[in-house]
């Protein structure tokens, strides 16, 4: 999926990374001028309770709000500045660092 709005000229993309469990991770990519080594910046997203996704207790939920929002802000700052990396840059929001119980 291409990132909407003012970032269209960057060719940046966002995709879901599917897992065997319900919740997907998210990967945003700013392509580089070459396909050299990928720089990855990451944070974890809070998990969900697989047994009871709506009302179930989730130890560790809401524990990485700052990491997630910092990563969003870093990607926004790079995209709005016209950043054109020499090699690809990816932003990973990973799930399931805190197993649901």
- Per-domain boundaries in the chain: 5-94
Q: Assess whether pLDDT exceeds 60 at residue 17.
A: yes
pLDDT in tens, 24-34: 889 999 999 99
- Mean model confidence pLDDT for the chain: 79
* pLDDT at residue number 10: 75
Identify which has the larger pLDDT, 90 or 49.
Answer: 90
Second CATH level (architecture) for the domain 5-94: 3-Layer(aba) Sandwich (3.40)
- What mean pLDDT is predicted for residues 53-63? 67
Asked if 46 and 60 count as a contact pair (C-beta separation under 8 A), the reply is yes
pLDDT in tens, 32-49: 999 989 999 998 876 667
Q: Collect all residues with Cβ–Cβ distance below 8 Å to 87 and sequence separation of at least 6.
A: 32, 33, 34, 35, 36, 37, 38, 39
Q: Tokens standing for 45?
A: 């997203």
- What mean pLDDT is predicted for residues 62-68? 70
């Amino acid at each position: 999926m291409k990132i909407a709005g003012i970032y269209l000229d960057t060719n940046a993309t966002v995709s879901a990374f599917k897992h065997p469990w319900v919740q997907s991770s998210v990967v945003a990519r700013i392509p580089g001028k070459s396909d050299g080594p990928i720089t990855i910046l990451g944070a974890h997203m809070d998990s969900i309770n697989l047994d009871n996704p709506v009302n179930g207790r989730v130890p560790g939920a809401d524990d990485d709000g700052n990491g997630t929002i910092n990563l969003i802000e870093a990607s926004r700052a790079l995209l709005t500045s016209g950043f054109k990396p020499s090699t690809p840059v990816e932003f990973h929001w990973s799930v399931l660092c805190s197993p649901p119980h």
